[in-house]
Amino acid sequence: MNIKSLLQRIQNTFNPQEELQDEVVVKFLQVLESIREEEMSCSEMYAHIDEFVEREVNSNDAKKIMPLIQEHIDMCPDCCDEYEALLSVLEHTKE
């Protein structure tokens, strides 16, 4: 089993209608890389925060899919501010 089919299974559990995108696989691998090296840094966080917030607004499953980002937001006040700012912007544009 390769990493993509593994992720597809996970995806099917949460979102059976959606097809897994290669982009998601790549991001997952990037996250794995960052775990191996160290905890997520603020710059890595910024690279993923848009997606995280978008996911949170659209399907409310960001914490499940990207737990590392959530973890970072919880312990880093700067990124938490950024997250909250982005979240309120996105929630307003959604309306």
Name the residue nearer to Zn ion (CB basis): 25 or 51: 51
Using rule CB under 5 A, residue 79 touches Zn ion: yes
Closest residue by Cα to residue 33 from 12, 18, 48: 48
> Which region among 17-25, 26-34, 45-53, 83-91 touches Zn ion (by CB under 5 A)?
45-53
- For 3, 32, 62, the CA distances from 22, given in Å and listed in that order, are 11, 15, 18
Name the residue nearer to Zn ion (CB basis): 45 or 53: 45
Q: How far is the CB of 71 from Zn ion (least distance, A)?
A: 10
Among 76, 86, 87, 90, binds Zn ion (CB under 5 A): 76
Using rule CB under 5 A, residue 42 touches Zn ion: yes
Q: Which residue has the tokens 């990037």?
A: 30
Longest Cα separation, the chain: 42
The full DSSP string for 61-72 is -HHHH-HHHHHH
Which residues of this protein are in contact with Zn ion, per CB under 5 A? 42, 45, 76, 79
